[in-house]
């Protein structure tokens, strides 16, 4: 049962990073002058999403 929960968590993280990458790419295409700052915010957001996915993995292992 925990594997299903972790799978759903990974799907959520994948969708979150995909939407963030899409938004960052679109924003950089519209306003190239904010590329540096936007890239930094994108990397931080991606790190937070990946951390949540990793926490889901650890909780799944502990609960099993």
Structural domain of 53? 2-63
Decide: 3 and 60 in contact? Cβ < 8 Å.
yes
Query: How many separate domains does the chain show?
Result: 1
For 4-62, what is each residue's pLDDT tens digit?
777 777 888 888 889 989 999 999 999 999 999 999 999 998 888 888 888 877 887 88
Q: Return the SS3 of 64.
A: coil
HSE-up of 63 (CA within 13 Å, CB side)?
12
- pLDDT value at position 11? 85
Give the pLDDT band (50/70/90) at residue 2.
Answer: low
Where helices occur in 1-64 by DSSP H, the ranges are 2-30, 35-63
- pLDDT value at position 46? 87
The domain that contains 33 carries what CATH number? 1.20.20.10
């Amino acid at each position: 049962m925990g594997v299903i929960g972790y799978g759903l968590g990974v799907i959520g993280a994948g969708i979150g990073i995909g939407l963030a990458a899409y938004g960052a790419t679109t924003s950089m295409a519209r306003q190239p002058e904010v590329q540096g700052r936007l890239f930094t915010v994108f990397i931080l957001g991606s790190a937070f999403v990946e951390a949540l996915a990793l926490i889901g993995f650890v909780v799944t292992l502990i609960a099993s």
